[in-house]
Each structure stands twice: as structure tokens, then as C-alpha cells.
Structure 1
């Protein structure tokens, strides 16, 4: 009898993490559950994140050709089967030209959250430019992505940026901005019925700007590729939802 399939299933059952996507260098992030009755406003989400969660840095420069490191941090929690996520950015210029949902927001000043809920190599890439224009797709690789319907994105994901929602050409100087996100589990349309509480997942958090004055590509967990490439689930860290 060939025992290999049974061994693989055993590893997934015990750890909650697919064996092929575990790396000794992976960071481990525990996502706190925040109890809240009713629908939380953006201000409540922001205040609760500020008071009950820790700051995490997105500060790894993985490619020497792109040394610019804007200060980028985030807080994360979950509540009522929603992911609450807030980014804090300080950078020398900001760009916000993309206004179409599922447009090329990574060309602008952008933050990203790549999330593999089942730790099986299939992940969602949540991307937002600095005025909150979203992109969301799903699949196993960069070349195999399925965009989520833009109306579903607009109806389900809540976004608020301190830079507003109006597009603008690149502005240079010293800029500080924040963006708060509320992502319901229902947004994860390829994982119907998913419950966040107790979930052992894989994820990475990014800051980028392909067409900004100084192109940059920062990550939370290290990405060991020759060129900038965020679509590499084998380099996601571990995220445990308490």
C-alpha cells in the first residue's frame, strides 16, 4: 500500500498547514479576536485595533535593486467573522491614478494582503491603492488568477483612507496616510462557509509602488526570489486566528 497520501493528510490535519508550504523561516502571527456586538463603524474598528492589537512592520527589502523602504506598519484582528486590517504609511511621495475596481492599483502607492485561508497554495490577493481603490483575485499562481466580481467587492469590502477617494498625480514631499479595511469572510467566495476563529492560514503583507518616483517592494515575511514577485505562496508566513 502506498502510504504517502495518508501522511500528507495527517500533516494537514494536525497542523492546519499544508506540508508543502511550511518554511522554517516563516513568521508566525497570532490574530486576536475582538468581541463587538452589532455592526462596528470605521471609527470603532480603528479605535479597537489601536487599543487591543500590536503594530507589525512591513520592512523587508528583498531585492537590492529596490532599496527604498517607506515606513509601513499594520494592525490586524478578527471580529464577527470579519478581518479588520489597518495600515500606517510614511513615504516621500504618493500616487493615486487608478480608480477602476480590479485595475492596476499596484502601480500607485499601494498596500496588499495575500491570504491563503486553507494553507493549500490557493490564495486571494487583496490590493488597495492609497485612495482605497481595490483589486481582488484568487488562484494558485500569478498567471492563474480569477478576478472577483467588482460589484461583490464594492458591496462587501469596506475601505477608508485618510487620503480620501479622489485620484491624483504623484505628489512629492513627506506624506503620512492610513487605510482601514473590513473584509468579511463572505468575500472569500471560493471558500464558502469559512469560519475565521481557530483558522490556521498562510499570508503575507506588502507595500509597493511600481510607478512611483522610487519603485519599492516591501514584505512582512521574507520572499526569496531573484526579482520582485509577491505571488509566491511558498513564502507566506503563518497566520493563526485565535
Structure 2
């Protein structure tokens, strides 16, 4: 299967963090369809798309999800957001360093981790401390907590801004990212609801595990 490739367009004007998918700024972004579903998923197939832009100081990401069976109960940083209605962005800025996993539920609660394979082959992972992660700016269209589950069809959106400085704290200076190619993946999941599912932009194969950097696609920054 050919490697997936997503191009992050440059923007001089920052998006307004209001989830406006159809805004003039977001309309300039390419759209990634998160439409590969792991075989263990239920018959629920939410329609999920992601867009990304970059400005001088960081990354801008927005997800639009046409969903059902929506439940979201994690409300603390680094909680079990993947069990909720959740959209995720994994990214590896440098080939010789590890990757970050930013996972956010529909209520805007998120976790941020960093994982790196050591020279001996052992994988080490950690949660990014709140002192750094609190610099991420967020928007969510749903209430912070959704319980009981909403079975009816509903669209929800999340959006966030991630300063490059957070990545640099772990992987070193990134310099001007224009023209660089990183690796990464976009995901949609919900584990603890009536219709669990696991979807990806770049397929992850038979193993039900999003933490497979060898399955990442290319994330290219526009010059």
C-alpha cells in the first residue's frame, strides 16, 4: 500500500479557534479523511475529517466528526480520553526522535504523550507535563461532559493550536518547518460506548494499536 501523504499549508493569519470548518482560513487547508476502520470496530462508521495549517509559531488542527452514540466523561488532563468520542493526532517531527500523541475527546479534554525508542530497542513513553501542555489552546463544540450517551446523529468539532516550542522541548530545534516532511497519523475512536470503533487516516493493519509509527503517513509542510 502506498504511503499516505498530507500537506500542511502555511497561513499568515491564525484560525480563530471557533471550530468554523468553512471559514476562509480553514478552506485553504487540505482535508484528510479518517476512513479506514479496524475490523474490530462495530458497524458505526462516523464520518471524520481533519485539517491542518501552520503559522510561524505552531500547528493548527481542526476535526469535524459526523457521529452517533456519543459519550465523553474524561474531564482531567491525561485522562482516558480514548475511551470517549475522541479524535487524535500523532506526529513524529524528526526521524531520529520519538513521536507525540495528542488525543482529545469531544468535550475538549486531552492528553499529550511522547514516546521514543531507545538504542537498545526499548520503547519509553511519558506524559508531557501540564506546565508545557497548558500552552495548547483549544476549542470544542460539545459540553465538557456527555453522559448519558447521545445515540442520535450529531456533528461535533474540536480545534487546537500547538506551539512548535512544545515539540522542541523533546526533539530539539525544528528551525523553519517550511519544506520539511514529518510523519504522523490522524485517528478517530471511541472504546467505551455502545458502538466502539477505531478509525485511521493511514491504515494501521491487523494489530489494534494506534502506536505504530511505522504505519504513519508523511506530513509535508508547504514551502
- The TM-score bracket by the shorter chain reads 0.7 to 0.9
Residue of 153, 171, 192 corresponding to 1:174 = 153
Query: Does the C-alpha gap of structure 1 residues 87 and 44 become closer, same or farther in structure 2, counting only changes over 3 Å?
Result: closer
Shift of 1:192: 3.2
After superposition, what is the alpha-carbon deviation per residue over 1:81-115, rounded to whole angstroms, capped at 9, x for unaligned? 31111100011121110011011100000000000
Provide the secondary structure at the position in 2 that maps to 1:42: coil
Residue of 192, 200, 204 corresponding to 1:223 = 204
Query: Does the C-alpha gap of structure 1 residues 145 and 49 become closer, same or farther in structure 2, counting only changes over 3 Å?
Result: farther
Q: Quick one: distance in 2 between partners of 1:165 and 1:151? A: 21
Whether the 8 Å CA contact 1:110–1:130 is kept in 2: the answer is yes
Structure 1 or 2, whichever has the larger Rg, is: 1
Q: Give the match for residue 16 of structure 2.
A: 41
Query: Does the C-alpha gap of structure 1 residues 127 and 87 become closer, same or farther in structure 2, counting only changes over 3 Å?
Result: same
Report whether the alignment pairs 1:74 with 2:53. Answer: no
Q: Which one has a larger percent helix, Structure 1 or Structure 2?
A: 1
Query: Does the C-alpha gap of structure 1 residues 60 and 76 become closer, same or farther in structure 2, counting only changes over 3 Å?
Result: same
Q: Quick one: distance in 1 between partners of 2:71 and 2:216? A: 27
Q: Give the match for residue 3 of structure 2.
A: 26
Query: Does the C-alpha gap of structure 1 residues 76 and 137 become closer, same or farther in structure 2, counting only changes over 3 Å?
Result: same
RMSD over aligned Cα atoms: 2.2
Q: Quick one: distance in 1 between partners of 2:91 and 2:188? A: 15
Whether the 8 Å CA contact 2:38–2:197 is kept in 1: the answer is no
Residue of 114, 124, 128 corresponding to 2:90 = 114
Unpaired runs of at least 5, structure 2:
none
Query: Does the C-alpha gap of structure 1 residues 121 and 208 become closer, same or farther in structure 2, counting only changes over 3 Å?
Result: farther
User: Normalised by the size of structure 1, how large is the TM-score?
Assistant: 0.81
Q: Quick one: distance in 2 between partners of 1:66 and 1:121? A: 35
Q: Quick one: distance in 2 between partners of 1:185 and 1:45? A: 23
Q: Quick one: distance in 2 between partners of 1:204 and 1:233? A: 9
Q: How many residues align?
A: 215
Shift of 1:54: 2.7
Q: Quick one: distance in 2 between partners of 1:96 and 1:151? A: 24
Alignment of 1:92-111 (within 5 A): 92-111=68-87
Residue of 37, 46, 52 corresponding to 1:61 = 37
Residue of 138, 160, 171 corresponding to 2:114 = 138
After superposition, what is the alpha-carbon deviation per residue over 1:160-211, rounded to whole angstroms, capped at 9, x for unaligned? 0111334533222111101111111112120233233222100000000010
Shift of 1:42: 1.9
Q: Quick one: distance in 2 between partners of 1:127 and 1:180? A: 12
Whether the 8 Å CA contact 1:77–1:85 is kept in 2: the answer is yes
Unpaired runs of at least 5, structure 1:
1-23
